[in-house]
């Protein structure tokens, strides 16, 4: 069965070279950078850090759905799992900030290797169901495992010092560290997408049998992309748990997996900036609707329905169609 | 007292019964998923939410219209089935020809909406629903105590599964259905109204889930989230069995329920995860699923 997982990113004209492609993104990237540097002086930094963590998570997820065409319904496993490990490393093992986050990232990469190895045996819808089921299994494990603290989670994780020098207790300092981590992840993904490896990934998405017939081992490409996506999700999750000094069951629950899908869908599948816009919007919506309690899920569900029925390109996807340039 | 592997035989059989009950619900839900997937090429993520809706409608009927279990057993599936047809007509139909993943995302959104609305009006603690008078009490079988209601649930589930199998494999309507699964355009060319067939099939699949929900109401509490975790286990069941055959879904559903029940006796810590572990093992050995054709 040939699947066409995602509509081709709108506005991408055939014959436009990759270099032009990258060049046309310079202005929005510069805008993003300036916005990121100025924002903490206007908006509460902790709120912004939450946005950045989810934006990186969404970008990592988009690498998989947008460029390889694999819908994982279990990415909370990597996000939350790394959160637990990073928190545990910082609190119990007393590791400094950067090593704790790296521990989380490495854990997520290993988990990604295991889950990906199992899940790529099936395609399309089955892939989604398998990742969801494995993530649920991990959720039950976290509920019972001694080091996760069950319902309480790991609380009071120390932020520590960056490289043993700079104290991260100030929110503003912490913000710039998180911004740096986010930018690293963002440009890493950007490089992957625009590398020869990324081109093969897209070929697998568009027509897997043909990519295979050209001699590419599509399963290898899928697995590598899955591990990269898992590791970067882990980077986001590990950073988040240390910033908020809390690792909890919410981050490994399926609702978090759903949330990141919604962010990417709303922003635009397979666009460079879509996941960031989606993450910022969803985090805002959730904090504004926090008083309404249970209605947040209803709003999220309704957004899913509206996006799928009327708005499949997402905000950035539509914008790039209007502007006729890839974004 | 007689023991098997150090476990009292009574505990063993009562967990086996719990396993059979869970297995009934797995079988009924995965059956509906398989039939819907065959025709619509969509994995119905809101199946769990509609199962919950069935139980909820039964509870509402009892409290507002004073209609008990027996009328609810008929009315709730009809109400939910009609609701399902509405969903199919207004939303799922528009996704035809698109990647099936969009169907998954749409129905996931619908599940969030249905569960969210239900949670806002009913809270999360759930409401009790009494076992109907005619089925209260139980029988002592010598080796175990069998509550009448639980025996009834297993019996009805087996009958429903057999009926579904009979309808799809042995009747004219079933033949149309299987033909439309293979090649809808050709079937339409032969003068069969495929769009109506799709709507009706979706409605019936969903009604089956609602019926399971009504039967589940007296066993578990009527809880807005009762379908949310269940659907994930059912997905694992579907992956293990493969969606190729009706009989496969039924057998896998019951078997996994029983295995889960036995795990509860011998190694309770793993009872939540055993289905997922089996799924991983099946993927290693037979990636297409036990009864599946090639993926």
Q: A20-50, pLDDT tens digit by residue?
A: 666 778 888 888 888 888 888 888 888 999 9
More confident position, B13 or A217: A217
Is pLDDT of B145 > 80?
no
- The label of the residue with tokens 């069995």 reads B241
Structure token pair of residue B18: 């719990």
More confident residue, A49 or B182: A49
Taking the Cβ of residue A74 and every Cβ of chain B, the question of whether any pair is shorter than 8 Å is answered with no
Which pLDDT score, from 0 to 100, does residue A281 have?
Answer: 92
Short-list B31, B26, B1, B6, CA closest to B261 = B26
Q: CB-based contacts of B48: which residues, under 8 Å, 6+ apart?
A: B29, B111, B209, B227, B228, B229, B230, B231, B234
pLDDT digit string, tens, across residues B153-171: 889 999 999 998 898 888 9
Integer Cα distance of A153 and A156 in angstroms = 10
pLDDT tens-digit map of A138-155: 998 888 888 888 778 888
Q: What is the mean pLDDT of residues A233-252?
A: 91
The predicted pLDDT at position A11 comes to 42
Longest Cα–Cα distance in chain A: 56
Label residue A15 by pLDDT band (50, 70, 90). very low
Residue B135 has pLDDT above 80, yes or no: no
Instruction: Give per-residue pLDDT as tens, A255-301.
Output: 899 999 999 999 988 899 999 999 999 999 888 887 777 788 888 89
> Rounded CA gap, B41 and B34, in Å?
9
- CATH number at B166 reads 1.10.3470
- How would residue B2 be classed by pLDDT, with cut points 50, 70 and 90? low
Q: Report pLDDT digits (tens) over A72-126.
A: 999 999 999 999 999 999 888 888 888 999 999 999 999 999 999 988 888 888 8
Nearest by CB to residue A134, choosing from B95, B269, B276, is B276
CA distance A295 to chain B (A): 6
Question: pLDDT, tens digit, for every residue of B82-118?
Answer: 999 999 999 988 888 888 888 889 999 999 999 989 8
B104 with A125: Cβ contact below 8 A:
yes
Q: Rounded to an integer, what distance in angstroms lies between the CA atom of residue A314 and that of residue A318?
A: 6
Tell me if B232 and A295 make a contact (CB, 8 A cut-off): no
Q: B294 lies in a domain?
A: no
Residue B31 has pLDDT above 60, yes or no: yes
Note whether A136 contacts B104, CB cutoff 8 Å. Answer: no
Nearest CA in chain B to A117: B284
Q: Rounded mean pLDDT of A302-325? A: 87
Q: What CA–CA distances, in Å, run from A38 to A171, A184, A186, A285?
A: 14, 18, 18, 22
Q: CA of B49: how far to CAs of B46, B231, B283, in Å?
A: 5, 8, 27
Which range is least confidently modeled, A5-9, A163-167, B257-261?
Answer: A5-9
* Among candidate residues A52, A72, A53, the one with its CA nearest the CA of residue A62: A72
pLDDT at B29 over 80: yes
Q: What is the mean pLDDT of chain A?
A: 86
pLDDT band at B295 (very low <50, low <70, confident <90, very high): very low
Q: How much is the pTM?
A: 0.87
The whole-number pLDDT of residue A13 equals 44
End-to-end CA distance of chain B: 49
Q: How far is CA A7 from the centre of its chain?
A: 20
Chain A residues within an 8 Å CB radius of B110: 301, 304-305
CA distance readout (Å), B52 to A326, B80, B92, B115, B185 = 43, 10, 20, 8, 35
B84: alpha, beta or left, given left = phi > 0 and alpha = psi -120 to 50?
Answer: alpha
CB–CB contact A118 B283 (8 Å): yes
Number of domains forming the structure of chain B: 1
Distance, in Å, from the CA atom of B185 to the CA atom of B53, rounded to the nearest integer, reads 34
Q: Which range (A85-94, A160-169, A310-319, B200-209) has the least confidence?
A: A160-169
Nearest by CB: A308 against B43, B109, B235: B109
Averaged pLDDT for residues A7-30: 61
Per 3-state DSSP, chain B is made up of helix, strand and coil in percentages (nearest 5) of: 75, 5, 25
Count how many pairs of residues, chain A against chain B, have C-beta atoms within 8 Å: 127
Contact A294 B236 (CB under 8 A): no
8 Å CB contact of A118 and B101:
no
Nearest residue in A to B242, CA atom: A126
Nearest CA in chain A to B113: A298
Phi-psi region of A318 (alpha: psi -120 to 50; beta: other; left: phi over 0): alpha
Widest Cα–Cα separation across chain B: 67
- Name every residue whose Cβ is closer than 8 Å to that of residue A43 and which is 6 or more positions away in sequence: none
What is the reported pLDDT for A52? 94
pLDDT category of residue B224 using cuts at 50, 70 and 90: confident
Alpha helices in chain A (DSSP H): 18-23, 26-38, 45-67, 76-91, 97-119, 124-144, 171-193, 196-206, 208-213, 218-243, 254-267, 274-288, 295-310, 314-323
A5 — pLDDT class (breaks 50, 70, 90): very low
Candidates B101, B110, B116; nearest CB to A125: B101
Do residues A287 and A47 make contact, with C-beta atoms less than 8 angstroms apart?
yes
Nearest Cα residue to A251 out of A124, A108, A327, A139: A139
- Which structure tokens are listed for A229? 């996506």
Cβ atoms < 10 Å from Cβ of A87: 32
Of A5, A137, A140, the CB nearest to B101: A5
Query: Domain range spanning residue B25?
Result: 3-285
pLDDT at A3 over 50: no
Supply the pLDDT for residue A55: 95
Candidates A66, A126, A131, A209: best to mutate against B (most CBs of B within 10 A) is: A126
A1-10, A95-104, B188-197: which has the minimum mean pLDDT? A1-10
Q: Determine the pLDDT at residue B202.
A: 92
Q: Please indicate whether, in this complex, the C-beta atoms of B287 and A293 are within 8 angstroms of each other.
A: no
d(CA A213, CA A29): 37
In a domain, B155, yes or no: yes
- Taking any CB pair shorter than 8 Å as contact, residues of chain B touching chain A are 37, 43, 91, 94-95, 98-102, 104-106, 108-117, 119-120, 229, 232-233, 235-236, 238-239, 269, 272-273, 275-277, 279-280, 283-284, 287-288, 295
Give the model's pLDDT for residue A8: 46
Residue A294 Cα distances to A259, A290, B54, B121, angstroms:
15, 9, 21, 10
- Using alpha carbons, select from A281, A186, A167, A192 the residue that is nearest to residue A236: A186
Query: Could you tell me if A226 and A117 are in contact, meaning their C-beta atoms sit under 8 angstroms apart?
Result: no
Percent of chain A at pLDDT exceeding 70 = 93
Cβ proximity of B213 and B25 under 8 Å: no
Indicate the length of chain B as a whole number.
295
Residue of B nearest to A305 (CA): B106
- Best mutation target among A77, A137, A278, A292 (most B Cβ atoms within 10 Å) is A137
This complex has an ipTM of: 0.85
Q: So what's the pLDDT on residue A12?
A: 45
Q: Is A161 helix (H, G, I), strand (E, B) or coil?
A: strand
pLDDT of residue A21: 65
- Pick the residue with more confidence: B39 or A138? A138
The pLDDT of residue A2 is above 70: no
**Inter-chain CB proximity B99 and A141 less than 8 Å:** no
Tens of pLDDT along A188-206?
999 999 899 999 999 988 8
Contact assignment for A136 to B232 by CB distance below 8 Å: yes
Local structure of B74: helix, strand or coil: helix
**The pLDDT value given to residue B236:** 86
Contacts of B227 (CB under 8 A, 6+ apart): B47, B48, B49, B50, B51, B52, B111, B115, B213
């Amino acid at each position: 069965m040939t699947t066409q997982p995602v509509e081709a990113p709108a506005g991408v004209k055939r014959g436009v070279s990759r270099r032009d492609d990258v060049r046309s993104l310079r202005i929005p990237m510069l805008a993003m950078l300036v916005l990121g540097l100025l924002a903490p002086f206007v908006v509460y930094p902790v709120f912004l850090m939450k946005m950045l963590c989810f934006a990186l998570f969404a970008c990592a997820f988009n690498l998989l759905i947008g460029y390889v065409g694999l819908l994982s319904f279990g990415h909370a496993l990597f996000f939350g799992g790394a959160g637990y490990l990073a928190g545990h490393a910082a609190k119990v093992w007393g590791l400094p900030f950067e090593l704790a986050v790296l521990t989380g990232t490495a854990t997520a990469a290993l988990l990604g290797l295991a889950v990906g190895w199992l899940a790529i045996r099936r395609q399309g819808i089955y892939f989604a169901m398998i990742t969801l089921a494995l993530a649920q299994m991990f959720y039950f494990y976290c509920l019972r495992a001694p080091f996760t603290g069950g319902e309480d989670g790991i609380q009071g994780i120390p932020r520590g010092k960056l490289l043993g020098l700079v104290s991260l207790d100030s929110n503003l300092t912490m913000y710039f560290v998180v911004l740096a981590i986010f930018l690293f992840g963002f440009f890493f993904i950007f490089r992957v997408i625009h590398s020869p490896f990324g081109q093969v990934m897209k070929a697998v998405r568009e027509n897997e049998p043909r990519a295979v017939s050209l001699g590419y081992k599509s399963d290898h490409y899928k697995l590598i992309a899955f591990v990269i996506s898992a590791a970067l999700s882990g980077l986001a999750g590990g950073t988040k748990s240390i910033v908020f000094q809390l690792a909890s069951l919410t981050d490994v629950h399926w609702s978090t997996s759903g949330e990141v899908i919604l962010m990417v869908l709303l922003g635009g599948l397979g666009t460079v900036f879509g996941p960031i816009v989606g993450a910022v919007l969803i985090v805002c919506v959730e904090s504004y609707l926090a008083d309404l309690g249970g209605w947040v899920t209803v709003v999220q569900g309704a957004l899913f329905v509206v996006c799928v029925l009327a708005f499949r390109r997402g905000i950035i996807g539509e914008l790039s169609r209007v502007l006729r340039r890839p974004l | 007292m007689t023991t098997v592997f150090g476990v009292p035989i009574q505990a063993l059989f009562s967990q086996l019964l719990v396993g059979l009950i869970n297995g009934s619900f797995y079988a009924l839900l995965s059956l509906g998923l398989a039939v819907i997937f065959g025709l619509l090429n969509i994995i119905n993520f809101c199946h769990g939410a509609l199962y919950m809706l069935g139980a909820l409608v039964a509870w509402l009927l009892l409290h507002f219209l004073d209609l008990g279990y027996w009328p609810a057993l008929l009315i709730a599936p009809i109400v939910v089935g009609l609701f399902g047809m509405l969903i199919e007509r207004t939303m799922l139909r528009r996704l035809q020809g698109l990647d099936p993943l969009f169907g998954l995302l749409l129905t996931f959104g619908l599940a969030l909406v249905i569960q969210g609305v239900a949670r806002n009006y009913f809270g999360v603690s759930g409401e009790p629903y009494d076992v109907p008078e005619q089925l209260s009490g139980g029988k002592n079988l010598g080796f175990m105590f069998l509550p009448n209601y639980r025996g009834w649930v297993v019996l009805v589930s087996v009958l429903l599964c057999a009926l579904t199998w009979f309808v799809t494999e042995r009747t004219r309507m079933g033949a149309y259905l299987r033909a439309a699964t293979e090649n809808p355009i050709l079937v339409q060319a032969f003068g069969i109204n495929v769009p109506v067939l799709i709507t009706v099939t979706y409605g019936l699949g969903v009604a089956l889930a609602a019926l399971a929900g009504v039967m589940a109401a007296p066993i578990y509490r009527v809880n807005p989230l009762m379908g949310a975790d269940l659907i994930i286990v059912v997905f694992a069941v579907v992956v293990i069995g493969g969606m190729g055959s009706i009989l496969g879904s039924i057998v896998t559903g019951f078997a996994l329920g029983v295995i889960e029940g036995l795990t509860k006796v011998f190694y309770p810590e793993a009872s939540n995860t055993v289905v997922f572990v089996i799924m991983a093992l099946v993927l290693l050995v037979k990636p297409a699923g036990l009864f599946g054709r090639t993926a």
